């Protein structure tokens, strides 16, 4: 009976954490809408920056699952993840005794092999813009 009670408590707490994370992102976008409606664009942009950081954090947490804790008896080290110009890479080292293996995965946005070049062009274009100047996708 105690095991069931503990399991129920843990399950409930985990469900609350997931709901809280979803609500957190919804709250951020709600604030963006409120600030934009009030024409407080600097605050809306700041909130969008927080949303971007939260989404990146969730994305990396999801792709980290592609690299298991253990692999063929090798113990995984912490995952290293990077993202730049439309390309995301994750890497994990595995050790067993004196042997070491490094597993790396890299991928893009699914826009084809030239997506990285397009992202470079967008980045270069954004570097030369001033606030209030229109940019395009």
Q: Which two tokens stand for residue 112?
A: 């084809």
**12 is a domain residue:** yes
**Are 111 and 57 members of one domain?**
no
**Are 59 and 89 members of one domain?**
no
Given 65, 90, 120, the domain boundary residue is 65
The answer to whether 123 and 137 are in contact (CB under 8 A) is no
CA distance 130 to 112: 30
CA distance 66 to 69: 10
**Are 91 and 103 members of one domain?**
yes
**134 is a domain residue:** no
**123 is a domain residue:** yes
The pLDDT confidence band at residue 133, using thresholds 50, 70 and 90, is: low
**Are 11 and 30 members of one domain?**
yes
pTM (predicted TM-score): 0.54
Range of the domain at 56: 1-65
What is the tens place of the pLDDT at every residue in 54-92?
A: 988 898 888 888 899 999 999 999 999 887 777 888 999
> 69 Cβ partners below 8 Å, 6+ apart?
75, 76
Angle of helix 2-37 versus helix 41-64 axis, rounded to 10: 150
Percent above pLDDT 90 for the chain: 39
What is the tens place of the pLDDT at every residue in 8-63?
A: 444 444 444 444 566 888 999 999 999 999 999 999 999 999 998 898 889 888 88
**Are 27 and 58 members of one domain?**
yes
Number of domains in the chain: 2
**Are 57 and 17 members of one domain?**
yes
């Amino acid at each position: 009976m105690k095991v069931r009670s503990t399991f129920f408590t843990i399950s409930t707490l985990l469900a609350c954490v997931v709901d809280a994370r979803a609500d957190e992102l919804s709250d951020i976008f709600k604030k963006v809408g409120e600030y934009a409606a009030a024409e407080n664009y600097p605050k809306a942009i700041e909130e969008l920056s927080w949303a971007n950081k939260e989404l990146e954090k969730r994305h990396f947490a999801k792709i980290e699952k592609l690299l298991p804790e253990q692999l063929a008896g090798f113990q995984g080290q912490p995952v290293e993840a990077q993202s730049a110009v439309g390309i995301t890479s994750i890497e994990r080292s595995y050790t067993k005794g004196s042997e070491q293996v490094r597993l790396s995965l890299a991928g893009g946005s699914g826009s084809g092999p030239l997506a990285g070049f397009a992202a470079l062009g967008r980045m270069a274009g954004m570097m030369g813009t001033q606030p209030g100047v229109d940019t395009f996708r």
